[in-house]
Amino acid sequence: MSQNLDAIELGRALIQCESVTPADGGALGVLKGALERIGFTCQLKIFAEDGTPDITNLYARIGNGAPHFCFAGHTDTVPVGDPATWSADPFGAEIKDGMLYGRGAADMKAAVACFAAAAASFLVSQGGNFSGSISFLITGDEEGPAVNGTKKLLQWTADEGIQFDACLVGEPTNPEALGDMIKIGRRGSLNGRLTVNGTAGHTAYPHLADNPVHRLVEMLGELTNEPLDDGTDHFQPSSLQISTVDVGNPATNVIPGKAKAGFNVRFNDLHDAAGIEAWVRKRLDRIGGDYDLAIHVSGEAFLTPPGRFSEIIAGAVERVTGRKPELSTSGGTSDARFIKDYCAVAEFGLVGQTMHKADERVAIGDVEALTGIYTAILEDYFGAGG
């Protein structure tokens, strides 16, 4: 049943599906059909939770033996924005001057197509003698709240007794050129919403009021006047950034009753979210007074230590591109933050310069090269016994 797949044509078909989160737009059906043609058994799983949209996800697998190698990613995209700022139809999948245009081209429909084309090429090369397993974990909820996507799909696989040995996520990891960077971990992310409660009053009579803005400013100073750490061998220093300060007071002669601020902490593996929250609260308590702090954790810091898995990926990248990739933990979060609880995980995909922008696009040559890289990774991984 094994046959080759064209990554460019499959990527174009995926881009033509308007799969802006939470809509699937038929994208997973397109991928399912392509994988079934090369012998994969596919299951569409819909997960739901109160207050969030239902999300369709895909689990596909070929083979039953070990080792079990997984490709993970997503087919949902961010919104287009103003279509007038695009020079091409965002869902037209046009090819111009050697570039494939469309929302999701870089992040990460073309990489998903490369996954499938690489799996097809590898299976053809095996001539029916493949004894391991290759699977796909593809969600439609990576760009959204990430509640009914990869996290629940992984829980389902665990309930089914499915175990993974290694997973490669196809996020656009390369800053400038294909071959620049492999992600072997990610910083954790914690969001805080701070509300300082005071007593409103007249600015001419401050003794009759309690100005929350003054205490808020002091509190923010406590949070930013010294670094959390100096970084590690694999992580840059942790960073707390104030993202918003809101008082909502249009009057110059009124002391407001409340003042609010938001902040985000990107933390390395010297910390966990509970420790960061304790650090924040200790500093807020130095100023004291009535305040409320709401914390939301997007993910914990994690690292897949350099070793056989990263060496296989780096070796394949270098053979195809001639570049020696950097092993990095920079950037934001990804669904790798969920996968790391199940197996070794790393990320490598296309160039990310245009992701989420108007005229999102990828080079045709990069799509072809990435297919070659993924194919080489499969050959080396299974040739090395995992």
Catalytic site positions: 76, 142
DSSP string, 320-331: HHS---EEE--S
CA–CA separation, 249 vs 216, rounded Å? 15
Three-state SS at 113: helix
| DSSP letter for each residue of 198-214 | -B-EETT-GGGSB-HHH
**Strand 326-328 versus strand 166-169 pairing type:** unpaired
**DSSP 8-state class, residue 297:** E
- Report the run of H or E that residue 73 belongs to, with start and end: strand 68-74
Type and span of the H or E element at 296: strand 291-299
CB atoms within 10 A of CB 81: 13
Quick one: tokens of 332? 């934001």
- Spell out the residues 6+ positions from residue 103 whose beta carbon is closer than 8 angstroms to its own: 15, 20, 77, 78, 80, 90, 91, 360
Query: For residues 183 and 140, what is the distance between their CA atoms, to the nearest angstrom?
Result: 22
Are the CB atoms for 168 and 348 separated by under 8 Å? Answer: yes
Tell me if residue 182 falls in helix, strand or coil.
strand
- Cα 324 from Cα 303, distance rounded (Å): 20
Query: Residue 44 burial by CB count (10 A; 0-12/13-18/19+): exposed, middle or buried?
Result: middle
Distance CA 150, CA 282 (A): 34
- Nearest partner of 17 among 121, 173, 138, judged by Cα: 138
Among candidates 338, 331, 371, 381, which has minimal Cα distance to 352?
331
The CB density around residue 175, as the number of other CB atoms within 10 Å, is 14
CA distance 11 to 142: 18
